[in-house]
Chain A
């Protein structure tokens, strides 16, 4: 299955972004600032984890070695994860979480739209579904960024802190790995540089209403795509994988 190895790698990379961000959002369950948000974040988490399951299952089928989605999620170490660093960042305050969601969703929406029209039928069918879900995420996160940025002096200051903390991580969304390059050439996924304009339009639209400025980034943060993560991912995985690590092969 050598010809599929690039696609498997791309699917797992995408799956990792979605699983890790989904897990981060799920950590808000029971801790949100209000009941409505206590529902919204697990709801978005469910979308992301559902998308991750589709991606991992497809990778497992292509690989044909008997692994399942669970093997990808529960039995790989941090160095084997390929998610971008932004999604593993600790949740921080609500401003951080909503801004991170906006950054990610504003990227994934045009990404999935193009994958849905791309050359791989199975991935396209997952993408068509994901487009609808991520549209809600853009809208929900965008509305919160405006509400906080254009809110009180205090909320605006917290929002600006979030922008300063997270913007350096956005560059990594647009990096292209070797396997991605192959998938781009085959028309399966878009070249991220072709969706940068769409991403900027969304970010500018929200930032203008939120009275936020897009900062200059001197040192973009990256490494996740090569498996070089921040210490946060290890802590996250120790929680996410606890059951399978403590009781290998456990099922119910």
Chain B
């Protein structure tokens, strides 16, 4: 049976989610925390919004900034806020939403290639498309890029160097 209280709670939860989910990633501001898949859930218990956030990498220096931004967004929406950092299950690039992938590509960052997370073994190769011209003729410049979550590639057709959002 659905009670009035349940409806009220789910409405509040939706409102809290709407407020928290639009917080942009500070290092890749074209995507927000929902699209990146790092905002895992938002619950409202006794008027307190509890947001669960998971880091992309253990040492991601943006984690605290992201948590504070989500807290501020929830406070702005009139909630008391609590942020919980969760590690399990571990974040995977599979959680980046289709919309998030489109935005990354439009921003010039090649989104993670589906199903490549299993190819992290030694000497594994990943075929990455150029976010500018869609060419498959690309080469890896460096396993590590401007942030922990990215690698550097170069397009052999249009010559553009670009970031690739690594599969994890």
Q: Which A residues are within 8 Å of any B CB, using their own CB? A: 36-37, 39-40, 43-51, 53-54, 121-122, 124-126, 128-133, 135-136, 138-140, 142-143, 202, 205-206
Say yes or no: B58 contacts A50, CB within 8 Å: yes
Interface centre among B60, B88, B166 (most CB of A within 10 A): B88
A39-B142, A53-B59, A125-B90 known; 14 new pairs, CB 8 Å cut-off, are A40-B143, A46-B60, A47-B148, A126-B87, A128-B87, A129-B55, A129-B87, A129-B90, A129-B91, A133-B58, A138-B122, A139-B143, A140-B143, A202-B122
Say yes or no: B88 contacts A125, CB within 8 Å: yes
- If over half of A's interface residues share one DSSP class (helix, strand or loop), that class is named, otherwise mixed; here it is helix
- If over half of B's interface residues share one DSSP class (helix, strand or loop), that class is named, otherwise mixed; here it is loop
Say yes or no: B124 contacts A139, CB within 8 Å: yes
Say yes or no: A46 contacts B148, CB within 8 Å: yes
Interchain CA distance A210-B120 in the complex, whole Å: 19
Q: B8: CB under 8 A from chain A?
A: no
Say yes or no: A43 contacts B148, CB within 8 Å: yes
| 1/0 contact string of B100-122 vs chain A (CB within 8 Å) | 00000000000000000100111
Query: Which residues of B sit under 8 angstroms from A40, Cβ to Cβ?
Result: 142-144
Interchain CA distance A194-B141 in the complex, whole Å: 36
Interchain CA distance A131-B100 in the complex, whole Å: 25
Contacts A47-B148, A129-B87, A132-B168 known; A36 to B121 CB distance under 8 Å?
Answer: no
**Shortest Cβ gap from A168 to chain B (Å):** 24
Interface size on B, residues (CB 8 A): 28
Say yes or no: A126 contacts B58, CB within 8 Å: yes
Say yes or no: A130 contacts B58, CB within 8 Å: yes
Say yes or no: A142 contacts B58, CB within 8 Å: no
19 A-B residue pairs with CB within 8 Å: A36-B152, A46-B60, A47-B58, A50-B55, A50-B60, A121-B88, A125-B88, A129-B58, A131-B90, A132-B120, A135-B121, A136-B143, A136-B166, A139-B120, A139-B123, A140-B143, A140-B144, A142-B123, A205-B122
Query: Which residues of A sit under 8 angstroms from B86, Cβ to Cβ?
Result: 125
Say yes or no: A139 contacts B58, CB within 8 Å: no
| 1/0 contact string of B55-68 vs chain A (CB within 8 Å) | 10111110000000
Among candidates A50, A122, A143, A206, residue contacting B59 with C-beta atoms closer than 8 Å: A50
Q: B24: CB under 8 A from chain A?
A: no
Say yes or no: A46 contacts B57, CB within 8 Å: yes
Query: Which residues of A sit under 8 angstroms from B141, Cβ to Cβ?
Result: 36
